[in-house]
Amino acid sequence: MKDNNEKKPIIMAVPGDSSACGYYRVMKPSHLMQMAGEDLTLAPPIHFRSVGQEYIFTQRLCSEKSLKPMAEIVKKLGTKLVVDYDDLIWNYKGEGLPDFNWCKSRVNCDGNTKAMAEYANDVIYRATVSTEYLKDALAQFVDRDKITVMPNRLAASDWLFDRAATIPQEDIFLFAGSNTHFDEAGKKYGDFSQGLVRYLQGKKVFTMGCKPFFMNPAKVFPGVPMTTYPRQFYSAARQSKFVIAPLVDNIFNKCKSPLKLLECAAVGRVCLCSDFEGSPYSPLAHEYQKIPVNSTYKAIEFIVDRAKAHYGEILEHQYKVLQDYWLDNHIEEYKNLFR
C-alpha cells in the first residue's frame, strides 16, 4: 500500500525560455507533476533562486557562464541538478549548429564543448535528452547512466483535438517550422532541398510564424505564444492537406525529435517528412510519407501522389504512433528523476 505521508522532494523547475523548448520540455511536465501532487515550484524562465529546494529542473546548461556558478551551488547547498537538453548546442563528431541556422551567431559551440567537458559531469545529477542520438552526443561529457531519454510528447490538455474533418480537395501545403530551417540573410535553402523548393513553387503553400524568402505563401498564419500554438496550428493545418517537415542530413538534425509528426497526428493531417539514415522521423513515419533527402522534383511528385492515394492509411498510422507519446501517461517517469 502506498504511504500517503511519504515525504516528497522539493523541486524548483526553471525553464530556459517560454517558447517551444521551455514549454514542451520543462513547463508542461512540471505542471502535470504539480497536478500529480509533487512539491514543485515553476519559476519564470532563467529565474534561479534558493528556497530550500532539493532539486533544480532546468535546461541547456552548456556555457562556462551557466555551468560554473551552478558548480558552486551544487557544492555549497547540495542541490541536485536535473538538466534537460533537446538540441545539439555543442560539438559532436566535429559538428555543431549548421551554418544556415541563425542561432549559430548566438551559440558558441566551441566554448560550450570546452565548458561541458570541464564542468558537466560534476554539476549534473541527472540529464534528460529528447532522443537516443542526443544521448550519445551528451555522453561525451556526462556518465551514460545519468542520462534518460525523454522524447518530446504532447499534453492531452493541449492536443486532444477532434480529428474528424473533411480533407481539402486542393493540394495545399503548410510549413509551420521556425526560421532556423533556412538562412534568410544569406539566401540559403537550409533544410529545404532544391527539389522540394522547386516542387513547392508550383503549389499553394501556407506558412505559420515565418515567410521563407523562396516562397510566396498564399496565406501566412502569425506566430503565437506556446499557450495558443496548438490551436493556431490546428486551424492552419485543417485548411491544408499536407504539413511539410524538411530536414537535411546532418548531425544537428539527427539529434532532433519527430515532434512535427506528432502534432500532425493530433490534428489529423499527414506530415511529409525527410528521410535519411538517422533522421528522427524515419523510425516512426509510414513509408508513404517519407521523402528521401535530396529527392528530385519528379520523385517528390510521385511520393506526394502516392501519399494522397493512401492518405487515410497514413493518418491511422500516425495516430497509432501518437498513443505512445501522450505526456500525461509518462509523468511517473518524470517523477522518478527526482527520487
Q: pLDDT tens digits, residue range 9-68?
A: 999 999 999 888 999 999 999 999 999 999 999 999 999 988 889 999 999 999 999 999
Q: Which three cell numbers stand for residue 164?
A: 474528424
How far is Cα 147 from Cα 136, in angstroms, rounded to an integer? 9
Contacts of 224 (CB under 8 A, 6+ apart): 209, 232
Q: How confident is the model at residue 192 (pLDDT cuts 50, 70, 90)?
A: very high
| Residue 2 in domain | no
Query: 307 and 332: one domain?
Result: no
Residue 5 lies inside a defined structural domain of this protein:
no
pLDDT band, very low/low/confident/very high, at 4 (cuts 50, 70, 90): low
Mean pLDDT for the chain overall: 95
137 with 170, same domain: the answer is no
Q: Could you give the number of structural domains in the chain?
A: 2
Pairing of strands 204-208, 172-175: parallel
With 80 as the cut, is the pLDDT of residue 290 above it? yes
Residue 39 sits in the same domain as residue 161: no
Same domain, 266 and 194: yes
Dihedral sign for Cα atoms in the order 96, 191, 128, 10: positive
CB 42 within 8 A of CB 13: yes
**Are residue 76 and residue 190 in the same domain, yes or no?**
no
Q: Are 210 and 128 found together in one domain?
A: no
Name the 3-class secondary structure at 159. Answer: helix
For the domain that residue 38 is a member of, what is the CATH number? 3.40.50.2000
Same domain, 210 and 299: yes
Residues 280 and 306 grouped into a single domain:
yes
In a domain, 1, yes or no: no
Give pLDDT tens digits for 202-249.
899 999 999 999 999 999 999 999 999 999 999 999 999 999 999 999
Residue 213 · residue 189 · CB < 8 Å: no
Mean pLDDT in residue range 144-153: 98
- What's the pTM? 0.95
Supply the range of the domain harboring residue 135. 10-153+327-338
| Model pLDDT for residues 156-174, shown as the tens digit of each residue | 999 999 987 789 999 999 9
Asked if residue 167 and residue 149 are part of one domain, the reply reads no
| pLDDT for 1 | 44
Asked if residue 123 belongs to a domain, the reply is yes
Is 200 found in the same domain as 317?
A: yes
- How far is 234 from 207, CA to CA, in rounded Å? 13
Does residue 3 form part of some domain?
A: no
Task: For residues 121 and 168, state if they share a domain.
Answer: no
pLDDT at 189: 97
pLDDT tens, position by position, 93-132: 999 999 999 999 999 999 999 999 999 999 999 999 999 9
The sheet that has 242-245: what strands, in order across it? 219-221, 204-208, 172-175, 242-245, 270-275, 290-292
The pLDDT, as a whole number, for residue 52 is 86
pLDDT at position 21 is 92
Task: For residue range 272-288, list pLDDT tens digits in order.
Answer: 999 999 999 999 999 99
Q: Are residues 145 and 166 in the same domain?
A: no
- Look at residue 4 and tell me if it is in a domain: no
